[in-house]
Amino acid sequence: MAAKNDSRSSEFILLGFSKDPELEPLLFVMFLAMYVTTVLGNLLIIVATKSDPHLQTPMYFFLANLSLNDICYVSTTVPKMLVNIQMHRKSISYEGCMTQIFFFVLFASLDDFLLTAMAYDRFVAICHPLHYMVIMNPRLCGLLLLGCWVLSLFNSLTEVLMLLRLSFCPIVEIPHFFCELNQVMQLASSDTFVNNVVLDVSSVLIAGGPLLGIIYSYYKIVSSIRGTSSAQSKYKAFSTCASHLSVVALFYFTSLGVYLSSGATERSYESTIASVLYTVVTPMLNPFIYSLRNKDIKRALNTLLVKGTTKRSVILH
């Protein structure tokens, strides 16, 4: 009985990217730079959308929430990894691991649902332009955001509660830089059949459902654009969707690519490195995609920069 596994007293070891201590300073600087860039870039998007009266529309309401979610999303994994590198340790407590999984699944699911809500917003704007402000009223936008949060919380809570029923050895080595749900579940010492079924079902519903919604929205958008005779109208309609399409493609292609490759190379460092694409790189690139491809965002950022420069000059004088 003394050898019985006790998950509550388990210690999880995050093996990370490399066992070579000489690479740790480089990894620390690289991930710190990406984290700071992600936070600052998304904060700029939030401030720009809130400060410019022209951006008080449903489209930018969801964009600001997406940027806020990306900050939270990347903050669930990178800070802990940076602390571990700086402190020359790789451990995380059982409670800390479960908490990290809860928030990671929560913000990953929320990212998925927010992209779907933004696709619906573009569908209404292009296919029903005359009724856009009537349909996408503040009440509906608030309900859509609430629905995104409720579904994400339900999914995250379900996954963690299923994980809490499992037992683990006293020391568990995770070949990753954070507590990734699937890998932690595979390292359990008890039966995980029910957990695998729940994970597969939730993956289909949470990832596949929103993706089908996005595909359907853009199918209707393309059909509507094809029916427009004006080339200028077609270009304007496409330009309003280009940024969102780029972010959707980046999010889904990187996530799908990582999970397909992880199935072929289970517990490999290649899979760990590839997961950086959707956990760190995607949230970092989103602000650049929206600011580079969106004239309204660029104008708002320029105005914000001019105001900041003017205010600083007045203070100096």
Domain boundaries, the chain: 10-316
Residues with pLDDT less than 70, the chain: 1-9, 18, 229, 257-270, 292-293, 307-317
**CB-CB contact of 225 with 237 (8 Å):** yes
Alpha carbon distance 190, 208 (integer Å):
29
- Label the pairing between strands 171-174 and 11-14: parallel
DSSP E strand boundaries for the chain: 11-14, 91-93, 171-174
Q: What is the pLDDT of residues 189-203, one digit of tens each?
A: 888 999 999 988 998
Helix axes 282-293, 24-51, angle to 10 degrees: 40
Q: What is the pLDDT of residue 265?
A: 45
Alpha carbon distance 147, 155 (integer Å):
12
Task: Return the percent helix, strand and coil in the chain, to nearest 5.
Answer: 80, 5, 15
- Lookup result for tokens 């954070």: 178
**CB-CB contact of 302 with 48 (8 Å):** no
- The pTM of the full predicted model, rounded to 2 decimals, is 0.89
Looking at the domain that runs over 10-316, which CATH code has it been given?
Answer: 1.20.1070.10
Q: What is the pLDDT of residue 277?
A: 83
